[in-house]
A and B are shown apart, each in its own frame.
Chain A
Amino acid sequence: MLKYAVKRILLAMLTVLIIAAITFFAMNAIPGGPFDSEKATDPTTKATLERRFNLDKPLPEQFVLYMRNALRGDFGISLKNGRDITTTIMESFGVSATLGGSAVGLAIFFGLGFGCLAALKRNKIADRLIIFFTTLFVAVPSFILATLLLLIFCLKLGWFDVWTAGGASYALPIVSLAMYPMSYITRLTKSSMLEVLGQDYIRTARAKGVNEAKVIAKHALRNALIPVITYVGPMTAYTLTGSMVVETVFTIGGLGAKFVTGINNRDYPMIMATTIFLAALMVVMTLLSDLLYKAVDPKIDFS
């Protein structure tokens, strides 16, 4: 297990490095530098500025310098407003983390609940309803759902304020973010639960006279959880990208919205820093879910 974990951690670090390299060199492939403006800049001024920001050095050296600064937590300054990017990321990440964390929690809780319910009440009305709605919501992109919710509950019914940081206003963004992963987890849980319930050890447990609640909770659900754990990585990725549009729709100043603003302003240092930050986060979450998966499932060996 330890050997496997070390190998995976090293691989994850390599992945982050590759992502950073792709991001850096891709951004530098865009024609035009930060000091090219409409007015012709004085060549000596430009040269001084470029030397000041190390832009006169060859690209690989710039990359090494950028990475060294990034590891110290310095991603440079935004081209648009001149603010320190690291501070911006840290400020806005709190909002996004609250939003994403609640959405993930909601999705897992209700996803597992509905999934079990659908599996236990197979082909009854509850099951039909759950499957109908999950099939529907898997086909609705988060930005459509977010905009529709905004239209119905904020503008038409007036139940929620559009966005006043904190409190009940979190409800709509969280719901629009949680709907897709919740539906997915429900379907996943249902199919794996049905498979597990057909196993011999469930019949054995029932034959021994274990009460039904314990059979479900201890024998069935624990085994049915394994495929759900593998979904944690992709779910994080979905939530992070989903929060970009959801935050934009609800005009929440989170990291996702900052990323989209960066794209619209073509604010390259900002895009670069956010991409590397979010990518590292995704890689870490995938790593954690993989390690958890191996730790929980005793059927897997590490050879």
Chain B
Amino acid sequence: MYSADKIPKKRLLSMQLDLSKFEPATGEEKLQHEQMRASTTFFRDGMRKLFKNPLAVLSLCILLALIAVIVLAPLVVPYGYSEMITVNGKRDKGARNMGPFQYSKLEQDAINEGQKIFPHIFGTDELSRDYFVRVVYGARVSLMIGLFASLIVLLIGLVYGSISGYVGGRVDMVMMRFVDIIYSLPDTLMVILLSVVLDQVLGLALKGTALARVGSNMLSLFIVFALLYWVGMARLVRGQILSIKNNEYVLAARALGAKPGRIIKKHILPNCMGVIFISTALQIPSAIFTESFLSFIGLGVQTPMPSLGSLANAARGALQTYPSKLVFPAVGICLIVLSLNLLGDGLRDAFDPKLRR
């Protein structure tokens, strides 16, 4: 490299720099000139904000713990959700309506003989089935329904809203009038009505097919959600697309000859995904609410499959004698809905650009 001596002597008034007055920067000095904070992506920034919100973190932990229990419990607990308790291969008729951690007489005898019997954490129900397993399966069914119903709503709303918003004009008007009509229907009443009807119609149509195992009640629940609840999502997606589609980069993509499907998928949807996902997350607790309501009035999942709503309903019969049977599913529903609500709020605060300060 250059050294100060090798450079020819400069003339008077020359602008040439005198290199002897400079010295190379050390590594530490170089670091100071780099950006003070690592650049962050939208996602990482949102996650940072989410983790600063103690309520959201707490509800995330509760949800993860619940999911862990739901996944692991059936592997650990040796009872099935519709299986009556047997001791040494014989049906144990004394195991009805036991309290938490109680053993029946037959089981006690077996323990005294040296057998290991898994404790009934929540006791048993009136058909001598392990109640803990039933509550766990009930929570699983409720969460599954919430999740799938929201996904169905997301899918239909996304496709319908994108087409309506992107095409615009007369197509948009006709499509949105249709949405308005469905939107003005009283949803819970229609859900009840359709569940009654679909339950009967599907029950006959499905007899003997593979789908019959899922149960016509649960299928009709999904169909009802798919028919009624997508309109809110479609409106949201359309609004987002209308606000994004006039941006210059969309015009640029169109000028380059990109097809509408590609523009929507690559340029528009990624920009409104945050808002859409938050709305989907907030849909889950409301779906769980609706499912438990329907189960409570006898239109939910089919027996013997439990859901938290139907367990709470069944517990009403023996409310005075066995109140714990109500408390477990009730706490389950409230805990799931509460933590999903709080997490959804947290996500909205963290990711919704309109709320950014």
Contact = CB atoms under 8 A, between A and B. Distances in A.
Nearest to B339: A139
A278 B186 contact: yes
B186 A30 contact: no
Contact of B189 (A141, A151, A241, A248): A241
A165 B154 CA distance: 46
B334 A147 contact: no
Contact of A144 (B189, B190, B320, B333): B333
A246 to B, nearest CB: 11
B299 A263 contact: yes
A151 B341 contact: no
Interface in B209-266: none
Given A29-B197, A31-B201, A139-B334, A283 B186 contact: yes
A143 B293 contact: yes
Contact of A143 (B190, B193, B197, B296): B296
Contact of A139 (B194, B296, B298, B341): B341
Nearest to A30: B200
A237 B189 CA distance: 9
B320 A148 contact: no
B319 A264 contact: no
A26 B194 contact: yes
B186 A263 contact: no
B193 A148 contact: no
Determine chain B's interface SS by DSSP, over half rule.
helix
Nearest to A23: B193
A155 B315 CA distance: 14
Contacts of A249: 316
B197 A144 contact: no
Interface in B175-214: 181, 184-190, 192-194, 196-197, 200-201, 204
Contacts of A264: 297-298
Given A140-B334, A141-B333, A29 B196 contact: no
B189 A279 contact: yes
B190 A139 contact: no
A244 interface: yes
A282 B123 CA distance: 43
A217 interface: no
Contact of B192 (A138, A139, A147, A263): A263
Given A140-B334, A143-B312, A18 B181 contact: yes
Contacts of A22: 185, 190, 193
B292 interface: yes
Nearest to B55: A135
A150 interface: yes
B326 interface: yes
Contact of A150 (B197, B319, B334): B319
A151 B326 contact: yes
Contacts of A282: 186, 189
Nearest to B316: A147
Interface in A251-265: 260, 263-264
Interface in A15-37: 15, 18-19, 22-23, 26-27, 29-31
B55 to A, nearest CB: 9
Contacts of B315: 147
A263 B337 contact: no
Contact of B319 (A18, A29, A147, A263): A147
A30 B201 contact: yes
B94 interface: no
23 contacts: A19-B190, A22-B185, A26-B197, A29-B201, A30-B196, A30-B201, A31-B204, A138-B341, A139-B334, A139-B337, A141-B309, A141-B333, A143-B292, A144-B330, A148-B326, A155-B323, A156-B323, A237-B188, A245-B293, A245-B297, A248-B297, A263-B192, A266-B196
List 3 A-B pairs, minimum CB-CB distance, nearest first.
A139-B338, A139-B337, A241-B188
Given A138-B341, A155-B320, A264-B298, 10 more contacts: A23-B193, A30-B200, A139-B334, A141-B292, A147-B312, A148-B326, A150-B319, A237-B186, A264-B297, A278-B186
Interface of A: 11, 15, 18-19, 22-23, 26-27, 29-31, 135-136, 138-141, 143-144, 147-148, 150-151, 155-156, 237, 240-241, 244-245, 248-249, 260, 263-264, 266, 271, 275, 278-279, 282-283, 286
